[in-house]
């Protein structure tokens, strides 16, 4: 494994932070997750999702409970930091500083430590005290104004896209910092912002608005650059995406759907005209595709090389043979449940640790404290006093 021998101290909760350290774990790092003795990571019992969130973001980690508000708890934590290569945290800005566990404090204890802080708006932002959940940042970044139907309310994405994107940027920054440390021998502070990450997802729409002076609007499943390039109905309430993004695809699509007359229609003879008349065009195509079996149409379109895909449900994805074969979906267990989870797609260095189960709360506390040199009677005392 590429990060074998690297130790990460995980002081995170919810999604962005835990997924960052999960990716490190999948690359071979030893990840020690620090949790509050009174309940641990709040994602252990997430509303509606149960333990799905925790099980996905925390596979292969070791759980150690420490009360960081206690002096002895901070002592234990600092000892762990001295032995760690990486620390990842996503508490409210300044919280660990107030506990004496911020970057400046721990850099003195371990100058080689790479300290990654994930927050809503970044350490230097004047917005640092604002709440910053994934959906909040989708809203403030403009992402929501791009998502949904034009005559409906702006919509959040169906998954925690900002959290997960921030985690991937955090991973990149951490890996780069490890490389830098090989040359300098020194760690560094890494500042990752959910807001910054969300703006990177808005991406080319920023330039478009800046160049044109226009405000992008929601278009539902339609796309302003090509037509047809959207989701269409199929039989039995199923759907598929079809993207005829050039003239060759357009002509092939008309052939498959037996709509050759459309190819000769002046209203649809060029992409610009199809975009201008996309609502009329979509209605015509929908009437035809709705009579097709989805999978049969997908097969026919694929034979012609036309970009397309079935709109799969998550249940369908669970049994996708390609994902199972590539270990993107892996079997794991937690408490009394056996199930599949989405794993890291980082398979450059061979098999990852993705099949390892997530830890029970405090499962490795005694083990790790013994490795730190604490005696059995001291550990028992810590338990009794609520320190671990």
Same domain for 122 and 185, yes or no, is yes
Same domain for 306 and 175, yes or no, is no
The pLDDT of 32-53, averaged and rounded, is: 93
pLDDT at 135 (0 to 100): 97
pLDDT at 356 (0 to 100): 79
Q: Note whether residue 167 is domain-resident.
A: yes
Confidence of residue 337 (pLDDT cuts 50, 70, 90): confident
The pLDDT of 74-103, averaged and rounded, is: 96
Same domain for 249 and 143, yes or no, is no
Provide the annotated active-site residues.
Answer: 163
Same domain for 296 and 257, yes or no, is yes
User: Which residue, of 286, 310, 334, is where some domain finishes?
Assistant: 310
| Residue 352 confidence (pLDDT) above 70 | no
**221-261 pLDDT, tens digit each:** 999 999 999 999 999 999 999 999 999 999 999 999 999 99
| Residue 355 confidence (pLDDT) above 60 | no
| Residue 123 confidence (pLDDT) above 80 | yes
Same domain for 294 and 325, yes or no, is no
What whole-number percentage of the chain has pLDDT above 70?
Answer: 98
Q: Note whether residue 208 is domain-resident.
A: no
pLDDT at 349 (0 to 100): 62
**57-68 pLDDT, tens digit each:** 999 999 999 999
pLDDT at 128 (0 to 100): 78
**275-311 pLDDT, tens digit each:** 999 999 999 999 999 999 999 999 999 999 999 999 9
Q: Note whether residue 223 is domain-resident.
A: no
User: Which residue, of 267, 284, 310, is where some domain finishes?
Assistant: 310
| Residue 330 confidence (pLDDT) above 80 | yes
Q: Note whether residue 114 is domain-resident.
A: yes
Q: How many CA atoms lie within 13 A of 86 on its CB side?
A: 34
Q: Note whether residue 70 is domain-resident.
A: yes
Q: Note whether residue 195 is domain-resident.
A: yes
pLDDT at 10 (0 to 100): 98
Find the domain containing 279 and state its range: 229-233+239-310
Same domain for 254 and 372, yes or no, is no
Same domain for 108 and 167, yes or no, is yes
Same domain for 118 and 258, yes or no, is no
User: Which residue, of 310, 331, 365, is where some domain finishes?
Assistant: 310
pLDDT at 36 (0 to 100): 96
Confidence of residue 350 (pLDDT cuts 50, 70, 90): low
Separation between Cα atoms, residue 16 and residue 127, nearest integer Å: 19
Q: What's the CATH number where 77 sits?
A: 3.40.50.10540
Q: What's the CATH number where 272 sits?
A: 3.30.1540.10
Same domain for 299 and 352, yes or no, is no
Backbone phi and psi for residue 334, each to the nearest 5 degrees, phi listed first? -155, 130
Same domain for 171 and 54, yes or no, is yes
pLDDT at 278 (0 to 100): 95
8 A C-beta contact, residue 115 and residue 107: yes
Same domain for 281 and 337, yes or no, is no
| Residue 1 confidence (pLDDT) above 60 | no
Confidence of residue 125 (pLDDT cuts 50, 70, 90): confident
Same domain for 171 and 43, yes or no, is yes
Separation between Cα atoms, residue 369 and residue 339, nearest integer Å: 31
Q: Note whether residue 329 is domain-resident.
A: yes
Q: Note whether residue 213 is domain-resident.
A: no
**Radius of gyration (Cα) for the chain, nearest Å?**
25
**2-20 pLDDT, tens digit each:** 899 999 999 999 999 999 9
The pLDDT of 360-377, averaged and rounded, is: 97
Confidence of residue 127 (pLDDT cuts 50, 70, 90): confident
3-class SS string, the chain: CCCCCCEEEEECCCCHHHHHHHHHHHCCCEEEEEECCCCCCHHHHECCCECHHHHHHCCCCEEEECCCCCHHHHHHHHHHHHCCCEEEECCCCCHHHHCCCCHHHHHHHCCCCEEEEEECCCCCCCCCCCCCCHHHHHHHHCCHHHCCCCCCCCCCCCCCHHHHHHHHHHHHHHHHHHHHHHHHCCCCEEEEEHHHHHHHHHCHHHHHHHHHCCCCCCCCCCCCCCCCEEEEECHHHCEEEEECCCHHHHHHHHHHCCCHHHHHCHHHCCHHHHHHCHHHHHHHHHHHHCCCCHHHHHHHHHHCCCCEEECCCHHHHHCCHHHHHCCCEEEEEECCEEEEEECCCCCCCCCCCCCCCCCCCCCCHHHHHHHCCCCHHHHHHHHHCCCC
The pLDDT of 47-72, averaged and rounded, is: 94
Q: Write down the pTM of the prediction.
A: 0.93
**165-208 pLDDT, tens digit each:** 999 999 999 999 999 999 999 999 999 999 999 999 999 999 99
Please count the structural domains in the chain.
2
Mean residue pLDDT of the chain comes to 94
pLDDT at 275 (0 to 100): 96
The pLDDT of 348-374, averaged and rounded, is: 84
């Amino acid at each position: 494994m590429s990060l074998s021998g690297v130790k990460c101290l995980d002081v995170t909760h919810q999604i962005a932070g835990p997924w960052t350290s999960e990716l490190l774990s999948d690359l071979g790092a030893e990840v020690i997750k620090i949790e509050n003795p009174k309940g641990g990571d709040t994602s252990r019992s997430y509303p509606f999702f149960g333990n799905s969130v925790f099980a996905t973001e925390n596979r292969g980690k070791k759980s150690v409970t420490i009360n960081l508000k206690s002096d002895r708890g901070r002592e234990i934590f600092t000892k762990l930091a001295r032995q760690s290569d990486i620390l990842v945290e996503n508490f409210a800005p300044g919280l660990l500083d107030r506990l004496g566990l911020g970057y400046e404090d721990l850099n003195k204890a371990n100058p080689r430590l790479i300290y990654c802080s994930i927050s809503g708006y970044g350490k230097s932002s004047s917005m640092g005290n604002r709440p910053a959940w994934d959906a909040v940042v989708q809203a403030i970044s403009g992402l929501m104004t791009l998502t949904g139907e034009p005559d409906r309310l702006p919509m959040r994405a169906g998954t925690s896209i900002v959290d997960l994107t921030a985690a991937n940027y955090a991973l990149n920054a951490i890996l780069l910092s490890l490389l830098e440390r090989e040359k300098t021998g020194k760690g560094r502070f890494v500042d990752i912002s959910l807001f910054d990450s969300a703006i990177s997802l808005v991406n080319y729409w920023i330039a478009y608005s800046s160049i044109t002076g226009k405000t992008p609007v929601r278009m539902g499943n339609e796309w302003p650059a090509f037509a047809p390039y959207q989701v269409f109905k199929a039989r039995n309430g199923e759907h598929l995406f079809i993207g005829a993004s050039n003239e060759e695809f357009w002509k092939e699509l008309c052939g498959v759907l037996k709509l050759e007359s459309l190819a000769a229609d002046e209203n649809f003879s060029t992409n610009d005209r199809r975009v201008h008349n996309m609502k009329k065009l979509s209605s015509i195509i929908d009437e035809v595709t709705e009579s097709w079996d989805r999978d049969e149409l997908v097969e026919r379109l694929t034979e012609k090389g036309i970009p397309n895909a079935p709109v799969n449900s998550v249940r369908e994805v669970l049994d996708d043979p390609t994902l199972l074969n590539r270990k993107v979906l892996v079997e794991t267990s937690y408490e009394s449940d056996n199930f599949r989870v989405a794993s890291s797609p980082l398979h450059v260095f061979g098999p990852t640790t993705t099949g390892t189960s997530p830890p029970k709360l405090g499962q490795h506390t005694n083990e790790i404290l013994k490795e730190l040199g604490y005696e059995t009677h001291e550990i028992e005392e810590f338990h009794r006093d609520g320190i671990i």
